[in-house]
Structure 1
Amino acid sequence: MVALGSHKTIAGGVTAALGFLASGVPAGLKKDGKLDLALIYSEEPASAAGAYTTNIVQAAPLELTRSRVAEGKAQAIIINAGNANACTGEKGLPDAREMARRAGELLNITEDYVLVASTGVIGVPLPVEKITSATPAATASLSKENHAAASQAIMTTDLVPKEYAVQLIIKDQIITIGGMAKGSGMIHPNMATMLSFITTDAAIDSETLQRALKQVVDLSFNMITVDGDTSTNDMVLVLANGLAGNEQIKADTEEYGLFCKGLLEVCTALAKMIARDGEGATKLIEVNVTGAPSQRDAAMAARSVTGSNLFKAAVFGRDANWGRILCALGYSGAKFDPTRPDIFIGDVQVARDGGAVEFDEDRAAALLAQDPVQIFVDLKSGDFSATAWGCDLTYDYVRINGSYRT
């Protein structure tokens, strides 16, 4: 365990917090008996909060889950991979409800307390009977130890499972926040083809939890990109069951700030894992922008650079083509004086005052070969800063997406 200021990282992912269990089982949606059905369960009803895709084409499970999260309480989340249950017509919503109904029945909780998420191919009817047939195995195998199986069961083109958890002290009480995520392609700010599920034993009401999630998502999941595509199923869900026994966290208090710090740690770690695991990627790109006239300008500038296909390809080729960075800044919508930016690749300055400087090409190429690749931009136009994450663009991205459905 590694100390991180007032909190520390721990093992356990989505079951690290008190009172949470998880499982992952095969339901036959993926080939070769791979895990493709995950279940998360809280031993007590929990405050619920969510953030969702901005795509106006939205999958049935997302519509169902959003309506239930709006009521403020949930106790379980059932997730399938291999089929998105998106653009499936009138059958989509009843199938999502059937997933929740079966899970609620087996868990002996109200169906309205079961949230649903799906990921995979769009436009193919969900074989819901496979899911309901596998749900007894998912409920029977719920445990603290099966967090790893759950994180594997939600993967699609991901190469690695993504888990993270922290413990922090709030008024001498230990609070745990943990989570898991999936995402590899169709990743872009304002949600992407990503799912993330966060659990905590903190006592916090749903309205305050929703406020905290919105703040944190804007600094983490909404600051990553892989390919510029935003999907139909994207969501981040948080459940807080209060089993830590702390005094309920109120907004705009020191305790709220500490909780948000822990939540941001978890969400940022998971977001960076998603960006690093981008389809075909070989390295993570981190873009740090300072000197912006507003927070919005800083964020737009940083996200624009990570989203530039030309720059992402240059990183893959280890080509210190800083003009592509300046170009991306210019079309980002951020306000700045184009005659002022300084640009660095790692510790090598490649541009000064928006123009060329002599630099060591070999040293810059070596830095572009590292993982992560760090880019620093000073717009010299204000006092605000932001960080965004992405990945390089490789030949394998085309190979993977040229045959995703077939």
Structure 2
Amino acid sequence: MKIIDGGVTAAKGFKAASTAAEIKYKGRTDMAMVFSEVPCVAAGTFTTNVVKAAPVRWDQDIVYNHPGARAVICNSGIANACTGEEGFGYCRETAKAASESLGIPEDSVLVASTGVIGMQLPIDRIANGVKAMAPKLEGSREAGLEAAKAIMTTDTEKKEAAVEIEIGGKTVTVGGMCKGSGMIHPNMCTMLGFITSDVDISKELLQEALSEDIKDTYNMVSVDGDTSTNDTVLLLANGQAGNPKITEKNADYEEFKKALNYVNTTLAKKIAGDGEGATALFEVKVIGAATKAEAVTLSKSVVTSSLTKAAIYGHDANWGRILCALGYSGVQFDPEKVDLYFESKAGKIKIIENGVSTGYSEEEATKILSEEAVTAIADMKMGDASATAWGCDLTYDYIKINADYRS
């Protein structure tokens, strides 16, 4: 597998464009389009929140009930959530505008929105944005980069990843972009993610690969414990690589899954590290658990602990908060067997052994916890299972950002 510089336009046959449609703010680039030169098979995962935004319901129908897709239209600023039938109708009108501008069927157009809940989209601006982007579509690196910037809301940086692999003697590329900074506690994926590939694969296996992979990637991310109404990850594959079509779970399928996992893991970690107001990526590794399910539960319990997140912000090795979070996770274990380490590029230190302090150096621990990426490793000494969750520290700025988000 070769890591490359790229995003949604890295794979053959994919183009992107962006524009300033002035959906919420004047002069801000706030719409993006991803387009495939040929029909794609499409897979998707969506929020488990009972309150689902109109774009989620539209995309679920396209992914589950239609053979393929050609385009994705995304806007930032307004989420088109809790907007009733009028909001759902705007999804249809967006698809219609794309159909007319690109010469493709309406039911091959996926839509996505992110931003404030409860406001109606200015559909005239959306439609004009679609029409403005269509002639600007390019397969260039720059076009993909600008599309990644256009879908940002409170994100402080664009989020992209891409890799190349070889299947059947052909180069296959997987690339993607995502956005997410707040209201991140997925039960399927993240805020918004768009993955493209030129692999030739059946729709059924594409969906299975995505559904399985999110369990260890996006589903292991939490910024603030809130599961969005708009969570959507879309995966499009257009077959332009020319590899032997993947129709069974063979070595080619496993190779594709590795590439997909790398892209999704990279994007998931970028979301965690760019949490609203965050100064550090907080990674929690649980090893030595009895089962994978218990390892997942334990790691998520720690990474979502507000007290632990605050301690990470303060560079405070307050290990009691971590042991406490493990203890209320619902998993049964012997606290007098747990070992805990902190690790970053500044070094690694053993904080507790068999449930009690090692008499570690507070100064050394603070140095390790002062880096931009910090890892806590908990060895439960119960078995061979492990899991990793990602989050971020909790800062004053998180409150500032969300106290006046609508304004």
Counterpart of 2:234 in structure 1 is: 237
* Structure 2 residue 358 is matched with structure 1 residue 363: no
Counterpart of 1:54 in structure 2 is: 48
Alpha-carbon shift at residue 134 of structure 1 (Å)? 1.6
Q: Distance in 1 between matches of 2:83 and 2:112?
A: 15
- Please tell me whether the aligned partners of residues 337 and 354 of structure 2 are also in contact (alpha carbons under 8 angstroms): yes
Deviations 1:61-86 (A, max 9, x none): 11000110012411110001000000
Q: 1:10 aligns with which of 4, 9, 25?
A: 4
Q: Which amino acid aligns with 1:299?
A: V
* Structure 2 residue 266 is matched with structure 1 residue 269: yes
Q: Distance in 2 between matches of 1:304 and 1:206?
A: 35
Q: Distance in 2 between matches of 1:29 and 1:126?
A: 7
Q: Distance in 1 between matches of 2:367 and 2:99?
A: 54
Alpha-carbon shift at residue 192 of structure 1 (Å)? 6.5
- Please tell me whether the aligned partners of residues 59 and 84 of structure 1 are also in contact (alpha carbons under 8 angstroms): yes
Alpha-carbon shift at residue 92 of structure 1 (Å)? 1.0
Alpha-carbon shift at residue 41 of structure 1 (Å)? 0.3
TM-score, normalising length: structure 1: 0.97
Q: 2:100 aligns with which of 99, 105, 108?
A: 105
Partner of 2:235, secondary structure, is: strand
Counterpart of 2:166 in structure 1 is: 169
Alpha-carbon shift at residue 193 of structure 1 (Å)? 5.8
Q: 1:335 to 1:104 in 2, by over 3 A?
A: farther
Partner of 1:33, secondary structure, is: coil
Q: Which amino acid aligns with 1:67?
A: D
Q: Distance in 2 between matches of 1:69 and 1:155?
A: 24
Task: Identify unmatched segments of 5+ residues in structure 1.
Answer: 1-6
* Structure 2 residue 78 is matched with structure 1 residue 86: no
- Please tell me whether the aligned partners of residues 277 and 394 of structure 2 are also in contact (alpha carbons under 8 angstroms): yes
Q: Distance in 2 between matches of 1:387 and 1:97?
A: 39
Q: Distance in 1 between matches of 2:322 and 2:248?
A: 39
Q: Distance in 2 between matches of 1:368 and 1:178?
A: 32
* Structure 2 residue 141 is matched with structure 1 residue 126: no
TM-score, normalising length: structure 2: 0.96
Task: Identify unmatched segments of 5+ residues in structure 2.
Answer: none
Q: 1:314 aligns with which of 295, 311, 316?
A: 311
Q: Which amino acid aligns with 2:290?
A: P
Counterpart of 1:138 in structure 2 is: 133
Q: Distance in 1 between matches of 2:55 and 2:323?
A: 40
- Divergent runs of 4+, >3 A: none
Q: 2:39 aligns with which of 45, 65, 72?
A: 45
- Please tell me whether the aligned partners of residues 186 and 192 of structure 1 are also in contact (alpha carbons under 8 angstroms): no
Q: 1:283 aligns with which of 256, 260, 280?
A: 280
Cα-Cα RMSD: 1.1
Q: Which amino acid aligns with 2:38?
A: E
- Please tell me whether the aligned partners of residues 87 and 123 of structure 1 are also in contact (alpha carbons under 8 angstroms): yes
- Please tell me whether the aligned partners of residues 199 and 239 of structure 2 are also in contact (alpha carbons under 8 angstroms): yes
Matches within 5 A, 1:7-406: 7-70=1-64, 71-145=66-140, 146-191=143-188, 194-346=191-343, 347-406=348-407
Q: Distance in 1 between matches of 2:224 and 2:159?
A: 19
Q: Which amino acid aligns with 1:44?
A: V
Alpha-carbon shift at residue 312 of structure 1 (Å)? 0.4
Alpha-carbon shift at residue 191 of structure 1 (Å)? 4.2
Alpha-carbon shift at residue 29 of structure 1 (Å)? 1.1
Q: Distance in 2 between matches of 1:143 and 1:400?
A: 34
Q: Distance in 1 between matches of 2:149 and 2:114?
A: 13
Q: Distance in 2 between matches of 1:368 and 1:404?
A: 30
Q: Distance in 1 between matches of 2:261 and 2:189?
A: 18
Q: Which amino acid aligns with 1:248?
A: K
Deviations 1:6-56 (A, max 9, x none): x11112200000000001101111323111111000011101000111110
Q: Distance in 2 between matches of 1:156 and 1:281?
A: 15
Partner of 1:398, secondary structure, is: helix
Counterpart of 1:3 in structure 2 is: none
Moved more, 191-200 or 314-323: 191-200
Deviations 1:261-291 (A, max 9, x none): 0000000000111111100000101111101
Identity %: 51
- Please tell me whether the aligned partners of residues 337 and 381 of structure 2 are also in contact (alpha carbons under 8 angstroms): yes
- Please tell me whether the aligned partners of residues 98 and 109 of structure 2 are also in contact (alpha carbons under 8 angstroms): yes
The size of the alignment, in residue pairs, is 400
Alpha-carbon shift at residue 364 of structure 1 (Å)? 0.5
